[in-house]
Copies of this chain bind each other. A is one copy, B any other.
Amino acid sequence: MGSLSEDRRARVILSSVAEPGDRRIGRLLAEHGAVATVELLSSANFDPALHARCAARLASADPEADLGRVDAVGGRFVIPGDLEWPSQLGDLGDAAPWALWIRGAADLRMSALRSVAVVGARAATSYGTHVASSIAADLALSGWAVVSGGAFGIDAAAHHGALAAGGVTVAVLACGVDVAYPPRHDSLFERIAADGVLVSEVPPGAVPHRTRFLIRNRLIAALTRGIVVVEAALRSGALATAHDAARLNRPVLGVPGPVTSAMSTGVHRELRAGALLVTNAAEVIEAVGELGIDLAPEPYESSTPRDRLDLLSRRVLDAVPTKRGLSVDSIARAAGVAPAEATTALALLELGDFVRFGESGWVLRR
């Protein structure tokens, strides 16, 4: 760690003494740089309230120990200007992270370039987890990284879907990248580290608070090209993330569900408020991808031979019986067309194998 720059060291300290997303500290950082910001926080005179808030953590800050911990799990500490830094985080302005703790085989910057957030309820239904994992798998198969929050329910289904398809998935955590929270996601996080990336703003060992989850959400929004909400009750962290995305001008997409399901109520409210309804990965990619390049195919509509008939022929065809044959005049009358028109139409319909002239007159061909 001899070559550790002063700026990098100061950012390690900042990540352990200040809560992520603090705009006051973001402004100090932008104005004075990381080293001076740490000095200002350490001074009891510059801003006594701010100092009081950080003093205890500053006294026990141990940047070398934090770096050693991330090193021990094969992780890394990344700051603005590093090759792996996702420059779109600058869209967060004063609330941008001052550094990221990263663990995993994939490169965060490269993964995030073509990435979509797939988020939703923890208490998801089987419908929701099915749809989340299948959309995530299809996104992965199309070369898109799937970003989510590592929580139960939709988040986990999205990560699993991307991994199952051999794709890259990014879990943005509210705890340290060496902490399994929720603990039952231990093996999921190991799989993500093996093929994707775990990311956090807080140092190794840090535990998640409720407010950290909310503040973490802005990173999910900022890293990605758009966000898909799969299931969300009216009170849902996923909707908070969607609002973060909307503030950052990222498209907000929603997957509908039964109107009888409370887990779709929040999504339906967003769709009524202007979010885009999507039903599959192709529609997601069309919405977040390059204009004119990533177009979703139209839902497949099979056309029948009958569709290719003109209105008059269709009318005549409607009037032809299935069993006892009818004369041209009877058919013309039933169809409301002239006998001569019926004669022409029937001849064409016979050529097309729609009708045949049987013993008692014209009948449908089966």
Which residues from chain A sit less than 8 Å from chain B, CB to CB? 17-19, 49, 51-57, 127, 130-131, 209-211, 234-235, 255-260, 264-265, 268-269, 271-272, 276-280, 283, 299-302, 311, 314-315, 318-319, 329, 332-341
Which 10 A-B residue pairings sit nearest by Cβ, starting from the closest? A52-B338, A256-B256, A209-B318, A259-B279, A56-B333, A19-B336, A53-B338, A210-B318, A271-B277, A234-B301
In the complex with contacts A52-B338, A333-B57, A315-B127 CB distance below 8 A? no
What is the bound-complex CA distance between A290 and B1, given in angstroms? 70
- B268 near A272 with CB under 8 A, answer no
Can you list 12 residue pairs at the A/B interface with Cβ under 8 Å? A49-B341, A51-B338, A53-B332, A56-B332, A209-B319, A234-B300, A235-B301, A255-B259, A256-B257, A256-B264, A257-B257, A271-B271
Chain B nearest CB from A267 CB (Å) reads 9
CB–CB A315/B268 < 8 A: no
Across the interface, do A53 and B257 meet the contact criterion of CB distance under 8 Å? Answer: no
Please judge, given known A-B contacts A268-B277, A279-B259, whether A211 and B311 are in contact too, CB under 8 Å: yes
Least Cβ–Cβ distance between A168 and chain B, in angstroms: 24
Given A19-B315, A315-B19, A333-B57, are A340 and B52 neighbors across the interface (CB < 8 Å)? yes
- Closest beta carbon of chain B to A288's beta carbon, Å: 15
B18 touches A336 (CB 8 A): yes
B contact residues around A333 at 8 Å (CB): 56-57
Distance in angstroms between the alpha carbons of A271 and B256 in the assembled complex: 10
Q: How far is the CA of A264 from the CA of B278 in the complex (A)?
A: 12
Decide yes or no: A258 and B319 within 8 Å by CB, A268-B279, A300-B234 being known contacts.
Answer: no
For the complex, what is the distance from the CA of A340 to the CA of B48, rounded to whole Å?
11
Among B18, B19, B127, B276, contact of A272 (Cβ-Cβ < 8 Å): B276
Known contacts A19-B315, A234-B300, A269-B299; is-contact A337 B255 (Cβ 8 Å)? no
Most buried by B among A130, A131, A271, A336: A336
A47 to B330, CA, bound (A): 22
Name the CB-closest residue of B to A212: B318
Q: How far is the CA of A5 from the CA of B31 in the complex (A)?
A: 90
A260 touches B299 (CB 8 A): no
Chain B positions within 8 Å of A340 at CB level: 52
CB distance from A295 to the nearest CB of B (A): 13
Report A339 CB to chain B, min CB distance, Å.
7
Query: What residues of B have a CB within 8 angstroms of the CB of A258 in the complex?
Result: 127, 256-258
Indicate if the CB atoms of B234 and A299 lie closer than 8 Å.
yes
A269 to B315, CA, bound (A): 29
> When the two chains form their complex, are residues A259 and B131 in contact, meaning their CB atoms are under 8 A apart?
yes
Min CB distance A103 to B, Å, is 23
CB distance from A215 to the nearest CB of B (A): 10
Nearest chain B CB to A198's CB is how many angstroms away? 22
